[in-house]
Amino acid sequence: MTDRAKWFFVALVSVIVIGIAAGVGVVGWFQYQARGSAPSAIAISSADDWATGERVVFRNTAAGEGYGQVASVPLADPQGPRALVDRACDRVAASEDEFVCLRTERGVVPRYTATLFTDDGSERDSWPLAGIPSRARISPDGTLIATTSFVTGHSYATVGFSTETVVHATDGRDFGNLEDYTLVVDGEVVAPVDRNYWGVTFVDDTTFYATAGLTTTGTTYLVRGDLETRTLTAIATGVECPSLSPDGARIAFKRVTSGSGPTAHWTPAVMDLASGEVRVLNRETRNVDDQIAWLDDDTILYGLPRDGVAGDTDVWSLPADGSDEPALFIPHAWSPAVVR
Amino acid sequence: MYISLSNTPEPDEQEGTRSAPEANRPRGVRTVSSTVVTLGVVSMLTDISSESVAAILPLYITGVLGLSTIAFGFLDGLYQGVSALVRIAGGHVSDRLDQPKWVAFVGYALAAVARLGLLFGSGFAALTAVITADRVGKGIRTAPRDALITAASRPETLGRSFGVHRMLDNIGAAVGPLLAFFILLVIPDGYDTVFATSFAFAAIGVVILGVVVPNLRARGRTHGTGSAGAGRTDAAPRARFDWKVITSGPMRRVLAAAGMLGLLTIGDGFVYLVLQSRGGFAALWFPLFYVGTNVAFLAFAVPLGALADRIGRTRVFVWGHAALLAAYVTAALPIADIAATVLCLVFLGAFYAATDGVLAALAAQLTTPETHGTGIAAAQTVVALTRFVSAVGFGFLWYAVGRENSILIVAALLAVAIPVAAVLLRTIAPVRGES
């Protein structure tokens, strides 16, 4: 082949493969437009109807208009029409007057932020996150916000998997990153190099529970944290993503019931804090990778991906005593937060 | 600078017989072989392809597959190790067969085929297979490609050649993520478009390598478009491959020095985390740190490669670690946010520019044409493995004595290691043919 023929061949192949990529792009764009402007796949009430009183605040994952936005439904009618507020979030947590929204801001440079909104959607506070949002919790009185994000490496910046869990105060105090806290296991101060923290649940304004995980061995500890003394004390093992029950007596969490690392299968479980007794709720056989929420003292809620529909999820309920099968609680929903 | 697209060196120059010293040529007309530029373009396209996918993978795993990134991060370290081991095999096979182009081709093609898998496969298992194929491909191709660059360059300007190649390579690494995020900005759920685009760039790169890049043979001395058969008949009796080439003499000292310095190279990730802990500016721009480092790398690659040709590759390689030292110190010292962050990234980029291509040039300089692939692979593998050990060790230090202290300790050790490495390598003469 002459040089000219060679470059002609390269140009021909380039036109073909770039043409294919462009075709995929155009089809993708039209599909996205069609989905976005299509009416919502589920009944929506007007924004003025933002549920007051006892309610569930969540991320709406129904295809069509309002996908990804924060929604609320009254506790009495969780499958009824949902009120949307025009704020898109990946993860949401709510208290009486406000909700915190963790999101990935698209752009040529993606950014990750946490923003605190009042219920009508006006912004009160905003701060950057280190990576992709994972978990969010607000303290009972709404002054503290805990966030967990994945700090992801890059081929030039690979630090392996790590999470960053920080506690942000709305009154200007800074409680910082849990990694800087003192970790106590079996009465001794330890500092394993591969520790990570995730999934905070607040008891009050100084005390909380969280997960301390060791990446290498896969061991996870339930730790009780104190924001004043900046200490974390391990009180149990095999507990991930704790969630304190409304009566403060039990912790709902996910436990690895088979596999490990990339093949881990998580099953919801409940631990009695006084006795340390754990009940694995194995009536739920699907893999639950979520921080559980309590609907009331007898029922837990969690999100699961909807089979075969990318980007869609449902919130399921399950009796906390393991007495019954899981039931669909809110369709097309994610990241439930119960406000009462 | 000026890059000629027509100037492939004559065979006698490849052998390093005394050609006119570069310094005597007029400035600005030093040329780099078109083969090197083409290989740079191939790498650029391949990097656009792989970095665009790498950048959006965490979002894809969490947002579309609904998995946590735990699984991915867990396997990532393992792949790095596989890549390092495959790399030395790739270099060795390339030397054995005397077919650097086609060994590199296999590596590039494997990565391109893996992209197709992303389009048609789904789920975590498919993703894992694709990423593995990609890493293995990268491991296979790196050393033969660098051997090819060596074969296409004059020994006196090898540093510049590698500089040009690494510059083009890093343009791809900087463009890839931006392109991917741009696609997602226009089509928020357009992951398929990103995968298709990634495949397109990889395929174009493979085709250019296969069709345009000449099959330069180290032993046959047939350069240009000579067919494989002709190369074989013209070849001198096949030299017996000898591991001693890389385990004795100056090469051993280079490997020792590179290994020692590699043990004190803790990885950008940690430096970024120290920067990020200052909060404010650094935390906000955290996702862009690697782009900043890449941009600095590509800006310095050619000047520092040329400098290495002029004052000696060992010198630039060893003293390039002073830039790393400066990056550590800037990251640890409590200076103003923006200035410290930008300076630190510039230092990191300069460090890579002074060491990455320069080390390949140094390894090529110290090995025979028959062992270029193995020699380059050995040097790169030593660096990759010691850096991995360093990252693990630094993790321990980080938690034992704290963020700033640990980085300052490594900085102090590095300040001692740099002069030691300089002494260790002082007897390695500059390039043959240079005064």
A–B: how many Cβ contacts below 8 A? 183
User: Who among B69, B74, B289 is closest to A152 (CB)?
Assistant: B69
Check pLDDT > 90 for residue B56.
no
Summarize the confidence of residues B160-174 as an average pLDDT. Answer: 94
pLDDT-derived band at B392 (thresholds 50, 70, 90) equals: confident
Check pLDDT > 80 for residue A237.
yes
Q: Collapsing DSSP states into helix, strand and coil, what is residue A146?
A: strand
Q: How far apart are CA A327 and CA A304, in angstroms?
A: 12
Q: How far apart are CA B90 and CA B101, in angstroms?
A: 11
Summarize the confidence of residues B25-47 as an average pLDDT. Answer: 80
Q: By the 8 A CB rule, do B18 and B159 touch? A: no
Give percent of chain A above pLDDT 70.
Answer: 95
Q: What is the model's pLDDT at position B11?
A: 41
Q: What is the model's pLDDT at position B228?
A: 40
Q: What is the model's pLDDT at position A41?
A: 82
User: Which position has the higher pLDDT, A233 or B128?
Assistant: A233
Which tens digits make up the pLDDT trace of A51-63? 778 899 999 999 8
Check pLDDT > 70 for residue B348.
yes
Which of B193, B208, B209, B295 has the highest number of chain A CBs within 10 A, making it the mutation to test binding with A?
B193
Residues of B in contact with A28 (CB under 8 A): 187, 189-190, 192-193
pLDDT-derived band at A261 (thresholds 50, 70, 90) equals: low
Residues of A in contact with B288 (CB under 8 A): 109
What tokens does B271 get? 């430096």
Q: Which helix (H) or strand (E) holds A115?
A: strand A111-118
Rounded to the nearest angstrom, the minimum Cα separation between A220 and chain B is 13
- Subunit contact B211:A194, Cβ cutoff 8 A: no
User: Who among B80, B190, B212 is closest to A6 (CB)?
Assistant: B212
User: Who among B63, B71, B399 is closest to A262 (CB)?
Assistant: B71
Rounded to the nearest angstrom, the minimum Cα separation between A42 and chain B is 20
User: Which position has the higher pLDDT, B57 or B262?
Assistant: B262
Check pLDDT > 80 for residue B3.
no
Summarize the confidence of residues B174-201 as an average pLDDT. Answer: 91
Summarize the confidence of residues B96-116 as an average pLDDT. Answer: 92
Q: What is the model's pLDDT at position B278?
A: 72
Which tens digits make up the pLDDT trace of A93-108? 999 889 999 998 887 7
What tokens does A228 get? 């004043």
Q: By the 8 A CB rule, do B144 and B101 touch? A: yes
Burial pattern B165-198, b for ≥16 Cβ within 10 A else e, equals: bbbbbbbbbbbbbbbbbbbbeebbbbbbbbbbbb
Which tens digits make up the pLDDT trace of A1-46? 788 899 999 999 999 999 999 999 999 999 888 887 888 888 888 7
Q: Least CA distance to B227: which residue of chain A? A: A1
Q: Collapsing DSSP states into helix, strand and coil, what is residue B263?
A: coil
- Subunit contact B55:A21, Cβ cutoff 8 A: no
Q: What is the model's pLDDT at position A288?
A: 92
Which of B184, B187, B341, B406 has the highest number of chain A CBs within 10 A, making it the mutation to test binding with A?
B187
Which tens digits make up the pLDDT trace of B304-337? 999 999 999 999 999 999 999 999 999 888 776 7
Give percent of chain B above pLDDT 70.
Answer: 79
Mean pLDDT is lowest, of A255-264, B140-149, B287-296, B400-409, for: A255-264
Q: What is the model's pLDDT at position A162?
A: 74
Q: How far apart are CA B110 and CA B137, in angstroms?
A: 5
- Subunit contact A215:B74, Cβ cutoff 8 A: yes
Q: Collapsing DSSP states into helix, strand and coil, what is residue A259?
A: coil
- Subunit contact A32:B54, Cβ cutoff 8 A: no
Which tens digits make up the pLDDT trace of B243-277? 666 677 788 899 999 999 999 998 787 888 788 77
Nearest to A44 by CA among A81, A86, A79, A19: A81
Question: Which residue's entry shows tokens 């396209």?
Answer: B45
Q: What is the pTM of this model?
A: 0.81
Q: Which helix (H) or strand (E) holds A333?
A: strand A333-339
Check pLDDT > 70 for residue B147.
yes
Check pLDDT > 70 for residue B225.
no
Which of A17, A69, A154 has the highest number of chain B CBs within 10 A, making it the mutation to test binding with B?
A154
Q: What is the model's pLDDT at position B76?
A: 55
- Strand order of the β-sheet with A91-94 is A91-94, A98-105, A111-118, A123-128
Mean pLDDT is lowest, of A170-174, A238-242, A315-319, for: A170-174
Q: What is the model's pLDDT at position B216?
A: 83
Domains of chain B in start order, with CATH, are: 32-234 (1.20.1250.20), 241-429 (1.20.1250.20)
Alpha helices in A137-288 (DSSP H): none
- Subunit contact B67:A289, Cβ cutoff 8 A: yes
pLDDT-derived band at A154 (thresholds 50, 70, 90) equals: very low
Which tens digits make up the pLDDT trace of A215-227? 767 789 999 999 9
Burial pattern B389-401, b for ≥16 Cβ within 10 A else e, equals: ebbeebbebbbee
Residues of B in contact with A195 (CB under 8 A): 399
Check pLDDT > 90 for residue A280.
yes
- Subunit contact B186:A150, Cβ cutoff 8 A: no
- Indicate the average pLDDT of chain B: 80
Rounded to the nearest angstrom, the minimum Cα separation between B239 and chain A is 32
Q: Least CA distance to A131: which residue of chain B? A: B287
- Strand order of the β-sheet with A299-305 is A293-296, A299-305, A313-319, A327-330
Instruction: Classify residue A4 as exposed, middle or buried by CB count within 10 Å of its CB (0-12, 13-18, 19+).
Output: exposed
User: Who among A10, A153, A193 is closest to B208 (CB)?
Assistant: A10
What tokens does B32 get? 């780099």
Rounded to the nearest angstrom, the minimum Cα separation between B368 and chain A is 31
- Subunit contact A158:B70, Cβ cutoff 8 A: no
Q: Give, as one character, the DSSP assignment of residue B238.
A: P
Q: What is the model's pLDDT at position B82?
A: 73
Q: What is the model's pLDDT at position B30?
A: 54
Which of B68, B265, B344 has the highest number of chain A CBs within 10 A, making it the mutation to test binding with A?
B68
Q: What is the model's pLDDT at position B233?
A: 39
Which of B69, B79, B337, B404 has the highest number of chain A CBs within 10 A, making it the mutation to test binding with A?
B69
Question: Which residue's entry shows tokens 């950048």?
Answer: B55
